[in-house]
Amino acid sequence: MSPALPLLLAALLAGTGTYGVLARRHAVLMLIGVELLLGAAGLLLVTVGQFAPDPLASGAVLTLFVITIAAAEIVVALAVIMAMFRTRGDVDLTGEALSADEAGSTAGGTATGEATPAVEAPTGDAATEPETVAP
Amino acid sequence: MTSRDVLFAAVGLITAAAAVLAVTNRRVLHAGLWLVVALGGLAGCYLVLGAELVALVQLLVYVGAVVVLVLFALMLTRAGAGEVDTSVAHRWLAAAVGAGVTVLLGGTLVAAYGWESRAVAGASNEVIGAQIFGTWVWPFELLSLLLLAALVAAVAVATTGHGRQGRS
């Protein structure tokens, strides 16, 4: 078969994943973009391994390694997101919901409606939280 | 145009459409479910390419474990979901970057490999198994350590908030 089809699909998946990482504010949805990028990398490895085989079987073996590392990555990333949700009450990556929340609490503690914090977090901790979500 | 080409085009179109829907859908759970379709379709692509072991591992690890984690995270963080997308200008910029990545990667890879048909002659499952436990055995063992470290770190990170809640 022609190797162009899987290569084009890998390129399309990489572009879609890039869009997903750049265009999403929801932290878990940004992770979906990362998953698609990793899938594109795996498809590229498998394609090259199938069309240009080598004695070490590196195409398939490295894809298995990438899948395993992706599983480890997603577990840690989701744990960080859950900690962020517990501390801030939202999973917004822009921090706008957080500033609106702070403005609401300083104005008299009215609920903003967009984000309902599960825990009353100290503002110092909440302000340093966005730095920890970079993948 | 062999039957393998036709099969791959069909599975690849499903995968690509599901991937696009997974990153554009505004409803978070639907986006997660489209990710299931995209990753399952990717496993089908591996199967059509002749890499059965990788396809099965992809199904087991991604569709079986990772996506379930993602769906649970989406459902647990539902209260904090306001606007899920960035502004329109930001999204257009992101779409331009994504299209640029697609064109650049696709052009480079197709220029490197060409359109002419080639034989699919990947390593058999026996060779892959022998190589994993032969040549690649140390990276493989290191990966088990990595998974253990990730597990412990995930529990430690995810319970941090609980401790803070208990103290305050």
Q: SS3 for A24? A: strand
Measured between CA atoms, how close is B142 to chain A, in angstroms?
A: 10
Inspect the interface and report whether the beta carbons of A50 and B93 lie closer than 8 Å.
no
Query: Does A38 contact chain B (CB < 8 Å)?
Result: no
Distances (CA, A) of B164 to A118, B31, B78: 12, 32, 22
Inspect the interface and report whether the beta carbons of A61 and B57 lie closer than 8 Å.
no
What pTM did the predictor assign?
0.82
Closest CA to B112 of B120, B104, B100: B104
Q: What's the pLDDT score for residue A1?
A: 82
Share of residues in chain A with pLDDT > 90 (%): 47
Encode burial over A51-82: b for 16+ CB neighbours within 10 A, e otherwise: bebeebbbbbbbbbbbbbebbbbbbbbbbbbb
The CATH classification number of B3-122 equals 1.20.120.1200
Probe site for chain B from A21, A35, A90, A128 (most B CB atoms < 10 A):
A35
The string of pLDDT tens digits covering residues B136-168 is: 999 999 999 999 999 999 999 988 756 555 544
Ranges under pLDDT 70 in chain B: 1, 79-81, 161-168
User: Between A13, A68, A91, which is nearest B77 by CB?
Assistant: A91
Which residues of chain B neighbour A85 with C-beta distances below 8 Å?
A: 76-77, 80
- Rounded-to-integer distance, Cα B77 and Cα B71, Å: 10
Q: Residue A92: pLDDT band by 50, 70, 90 thresholds?
A: confident
According to DSSP, the residues that pair with A24 across neighbouring strands are: B85
The string of pLDDT tens digits covering residues A8-50 is: 999 999 999 999 999 998 899 999 999 999 999 999 999 999 9
State the helix-helix crossing angle for A27-51 and A58-88, rounded to 10 degrees. Answer: 180
- Which residues 1-40 in chain B show a CB within 8 A of chain A? 2, 4-5, 8-9, 12, 15-16, 19-20, 22-23, 28, 31-32, 35, 38-39
Inspect the interface and report whether the beta carbons of A57 and B128 lie closer than 8 Å.
yes
- Rounded-to-integer distance, Cα A58 and Cα A48, Å: 10
Inspect the interface and report whether the beta carbons of A3 and B113 lie closer than 8 Å.
yes
Least confident range from A81-90, A99-108, B8-17: namely A99-108
Query: Does A3 contact chain B (CB < 8 Å)?
Result: yes
Q: What's the pLDDT score for residue B161?
A: 59
Give alpha helix (H) positions in chain A: 4-23, 27-51, 58-88, 96-106, 123-128
Query: Does A25 contact chain B (CB < 8 Å)?
Result: yes
